[in-house]
Amino acid sequence: MSRRSAAVIIGPIKWLGIALLLLGLPAGAETGRYPPGSVLLFVASWCAPCHAELARLPAIARGARPFRVLVVPFDDSPATRSMLDAVPEAQRWRPEREMQRQLARALRAETSGLPFSMAVDGDGRECGSARLGLDAARAEALVAGCVR
């Protein structure tokens, strides 16, 4: 198989996983590195669409069922930490600081910025992504791509 056809087959979301591995995740982190059965909603205080997503969080969570929606800080700024104060604790995922930095670097390389969401299958592997602000319908479509 040529490199070109491999790139087409692997697709952009797999490159995110590869980037995370190349950035030095610990051995064994390849499988199950994300919370299983979840939609990760990356947010930052400077992202206007992210504020709108948080305002729609209950509807997004309903649309994502049976997956749970977890809000992930894109950066560790005081403003972003404050933004997460309004999110119920059960809907937050705060990876350890180095993992958070690796995620942010990989996302910057993969996307043009926020908003960005990632669906994670039952094994903790990414199974879909969205580069638009989520609402209930988009969350439902994102999860449907993972539950076949």
Domains and CATH numbers, the chain: 3-144 (3.40.30)
135 vs 100: which has the higher pLDDT: 135
Token digits for 109?
């390389």
76 vs 80: which has the higher pLDDT: 80
| Per-residue pLDDT, 147 | 81
pLDDT digits (tens, 9 = 90+) for 40-65: 999 999 999 999 999 999 999 999 99
Q: What is the mean pLDDT of residues 114-134?
A: 92
Residue with tokens 């995370």: 20
